[in-house]
């Protein structure tokens, strides 16, 4: 039976998972896992793409030791970040989205095309790290003059394997430059901002085979990890979802993008899906708790942290989408700056983080239902955050929705399902 390899890389770790169909069911096996994280370099936050490439290759080696005949592989990662290219080689550093370099670029972009115009054209929510602002920051720094193209990170990694440059649709939409109407890069945005036209090539859809690596087909999945995660949810009907990891991506499938004033005011995104639109919002997710833990109690197990948070009675909330939480030197200090008084113990910070996340989900769902005109009954939660039973209970209480928590590798599953479907099997 055919085997398929999903290489799923998040902001804190990556994994290689082999999948196959057996007796009508999808079976999987994790064969390799590796750490990831931002690296500080010359005062900026960057990604070590050489290390990522080495881990990608090592994981493939490990997979082939167990399963010598793998039919295809694909890579997915977070969105918005990219590698500048010159003559087929990377122009380093590769900046990470949490870096602050776009601060001066954002107002300059909006001087030439207002955010309302950008939203009307693309339907992408404002985030200071959107690819459009990162590329403009590179333009201001003169870095675009050194480059002849750019590749989003998963496309870069697959280029290093196959030698084929590609621009995959779902990941491209995260950057704020793809037309909501045509599904291709918007030439008016590119022209207005004076970005190099040679950078922006026709977009390819998930399922496209772009090359080979050691006899294995290299195929595009939904290379934006949330795009693959939504494909991996065993959803009954069309209901709400949260892909819960470093970020919480909360949304619903819609037939087409919603770029109306209400969606803009609510800062909702319209990102590419596999045959549908993902109407969703980025919410500061488990990043809050992860940073609190690394700062306050790095050795304490998560079950103890959540048990203590349940027992405390600190009931103040923060706005989890406040920019102060994006990349603070101290997450504790960031919470302190937004609270009338700080918690008296460590558990109070976690309680505040979890309750604030649940409240953020509530507000986001109210916006979805208002803007789509639909009511939803169920909320599916997948990813690492789905294992947090305390947060799941808070979310069910706050939203009034039936929470179905699936602590599965939904992103890898979706990645594999796209490969299976385009490899001639029924997913």
Q: Residue 170 and residue 210: Cα distance in Å, rounded?
A: 16
Cα 338 vs. chain centroid, distance in angstroms?
26
Q: Which helix (H) or strand (E) holds 45?
A: strand 44-47
Predicted TM-score (pTM) of this structure? 0.92
Q: Residue 99 and residue 81: Cα distance in Å, rounded?
A: 11
Q: Decide if 50 is catalytic.
A: no
Q: What is the full DSSP assignment across 112-162?
A: HS-HHHHHHHH-PPP-TT-HHHHHHHHHHTTGGGG-SEEEEHHHHHHHHHH
Q: Which domains does the chain have, with CATH numbers?
A: 3-223 (3.30.420.40), 234-409 (3.30.420.40)
Active-site residue, selected from the candidate residues 50, 225, 315, 359: 225
- Sequence length of the chain is 427
- Of the candidates 398, 323, 406, 314, the residue with the CA atom closest to the CA atom of residue 353: 314
Distance from the first to the final alpha carbon of the chain: 14
- Of the candidates 278, 177, 268, 281, the residue with the CA atom closest to the CA atom of residue 222: 278
Q: What is the pLDDT of residues 357-401, one digit of tens each?
A: 999 999 999 999 999 999 999 999 999 899 999 999 999 999 999
- For tokens 């549908």, the residue is 276
Residue 293 has which token pair?
Answer: 């833990």
For residue 424, pLDDT over 80 is answered with no
For residue 289, pLDDT over 90 is answered with yes
Q: What is the pLDDT of residues 304-351, one digit of tens each?
A: 999 999 998 899 999 999 999 999 999 999 999 999 999 999 999 999
Q: What is the pLDDT of residues 83-128, one digit of tens each?
A: 999 999 999 999 999 999 999 999 999 999 999 999 999 999 999 9
Q: What is the pLDDT of residue 198?
A: 96
The residues with which 207 forms a beta bridge, in sequence order, are none
Nearest 5°: phi and psi at 424?
A: 100, 5
Residue 400 has which token pair?
Answer: 């009034």
Spatial neighbors of 338 by CB under 8 A, at least 6 apart, are 318, 319, 322, 324
Q: Residue 132 and residue 146: Cα distance in Å, rounded?
A: 18
Q: Where are the beta strands (DSSP E) in 207-344?
A: 209-213, 216-219, 240-244, 247-254, 269-272, 277-284
Spatial neighbors of 1 by CB under 8 A, at least 6 apart, are 20, 21, 22
């Amino acid at each position: 039976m055919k085997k398929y390899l999903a290489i799923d890389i998040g902001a804190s770790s990556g994994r290689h998972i082999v999948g196959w169909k057996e007796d009508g069911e999808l079976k999987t096996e994790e064969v390799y896992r590796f750490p990831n994280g931002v690296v500080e370099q010359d005062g900026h936050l960057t990604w070590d793409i050489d290390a990522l490439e080495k881990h990608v290759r090592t994981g493939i080696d490990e997979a082939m030791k167990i399963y010598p005949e793998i039919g295809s592989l694909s890579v997915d990662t977070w969105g918005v970040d990219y590698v500048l290219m010159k003559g087929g080689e990377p122009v380093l550093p590769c900046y990470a989205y949490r870096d602050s370099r776009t601060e001066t670029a954002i107002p300059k972009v909006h001087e030439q095309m207002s955010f309302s115009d950008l939203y009307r054209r693309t339907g992408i929510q404002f985030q200071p790290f959107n690819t459009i602002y990162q590329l403009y920051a590179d333009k201001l720094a003169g870095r675009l003059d050194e480059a002849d193209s750019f590749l989003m990170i998963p496309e870069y990694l697959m280029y290093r394997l196959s030698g084929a440059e590609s621009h995959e649709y779902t990941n491209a939409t995260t950057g704020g430059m793809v037309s909501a109407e045509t599904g291709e890069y918007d030439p008016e945005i590119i022209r207005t901002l004076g970005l190099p036209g040679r950078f922006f090539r026709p977009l390819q859809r998930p399922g496209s085979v772009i090359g080979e690596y050691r006899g294995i087909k290299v195929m595009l999945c939904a290379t934006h990890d949330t795009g693959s995660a939504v494909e991996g949810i065993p959803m009954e009907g069309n209901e709400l979802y949260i892909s819960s990891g470093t970020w919480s991506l909360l949304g619903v499938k819609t037939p087409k993008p919603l770029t109306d004033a209400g969606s803009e005011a609510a800062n909702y995104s319209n990102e590419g899906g596999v045959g549908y639109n993902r109407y969703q919002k980025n919410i500061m997710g488990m990043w809050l708790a992860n940073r609190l833990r690394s700062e306050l109690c790095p050795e304490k197990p998560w079950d103890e942290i959540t048990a203590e948070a349940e027992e405390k009675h600190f009931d103040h909330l923060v706005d989890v989408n406040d920019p102060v939480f994006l990349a603070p030197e101290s997450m504790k200090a960031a919470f302190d700056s937004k609270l009338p008084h700080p918690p008296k113990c460590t558990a109070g910070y976690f309680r505040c983080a979890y309750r604030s996340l649940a409240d953020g989900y509530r507000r986001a769902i109210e916006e979805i239902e208002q803007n789509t005109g639909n009511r939803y009954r169920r909320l599916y939660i997948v990813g690492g955050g789905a294992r947090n039973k305390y947060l799941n209970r808070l979310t069910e209480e706050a939203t009034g929705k039936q929470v179905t928590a699936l602590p599965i590798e939904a992103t890898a599953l979706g990645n594999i399902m796209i490969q299976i479907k385009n490899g001639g099997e029924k997913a």
